[in-house]
Amino acid sequence: MRQQTNLNYNKANFRKILKAKRLSLDDTSRNLLNHRANLQLIELLNELLINHRNDYKIALFLAFNGEIDPYCTIQHLQKNNVSVYLPIIHPFSKKTLLFQKFDKNTTLIKNKFGILEPKLDLRAITPLDQINYFVMPLTGFDLKGNRLGMGGGFYDRTLCHLNDSAKLIGFAYSLQQLDTIPTEPWDISLGYIVTELNRYCFI
């Protein structure tokens, strides 16, 4: 059941509620929802990448703290020779991300938040404008393409100059849906949202 928007709730309150709902899933339910959601995501990416598969670069993420897990999609893309990139915290630019190629030889380390990310290798970093699609984690979403992130603003700061919401795909459980998300001028909107139940397009 989606969370009803209430004027008494701000973003911090919504994050607390939605994180608790996400963490409340038992292992059986989580595995089933992850499986269904990955099938939806793979189907969308197959449609988006048609005829250009070997030239595409897709950014995804490694699940943390109950987030939906896109690892099956990562494996599917790599098996089909699509280049996969993961976010890493920029070592010099505050609260921004770099995107580094991820393959079987990539060494993973925990960043300051305890999230696994590739060990920095400047040779494997790619410019943002060369990545075709960014599959992004989120805490909540609405059906206007608004995304509620973790609160650090890393994706907003990193992608604010991209000016192409068609490249941005939110990935979440359907239980993370809100009626409306309070927005700020710097919040980036999404071109797509994928859950275990549906694929939504906003472009």
- Mean of the per-residue pLDDT values of the chain: 90
149 assigned to a ligand binding site: yes
Name the domain count of the chain: 1
Residue 29: give its domain's CATH number.
3.40.50.10420
170 assigned to a ligand binding site: no
Q: Is residue 122 part of a domain?
A: yes
Of 65, 68, 66, 73, nearest in space to 38 by CA: 73
pLDDT at 50: 77
15 assigned to a ligand binding site: yes
Cα–Cα–Cα angle for 90, 96, 100, nearest 5°? Answer: 50
Burial 172-201 (b: 16+ CB within 10 A, else e): bbbbbbbeebeeeeebbebbbbbbbeeebe
Q: Is residue 167 part of a domain?
A: yes
C-alpha span between 203 and 190 (Å, rounded)? 9
Q: Is residue 4 part of a domain?
A: no
Range of the domain at 114: 11-201
Q: Is residue 137 part of a domain?
A: yes
Q: Is residue 31 part of a domain?
A: yes
pLDDT tier for residue 7 given thresholds of 50, 70 and 90: very low
14 assigned to a ligand binding site: yes
Summarised one tens digit per residue, pLDDT across range 135-182 is 999 999 999 999 998 878 899 899 988 878 889 999 999 999 999 888
- Asked if 138 and 172 touch (Cβ cutoff 8 Å), the reply is yes
C-alpha span between 139 and 25 (Å, rounded)? 15
Summarised one tens digit per residue, pLDDT across range 91-135 is 998 889 999 999 999 999 999 999 999 999 999 999 999 999 999
Q: Is residue 147 part of a domain?
A: yes
- Asked if 167 and 145 touch (Cβ cutoff 8 Å), the reply is no
199 assigned to a ligand binding site: no
Q: Is residue 2 part of a domain?
A: no
13 assigned to a ligand binding site: yes
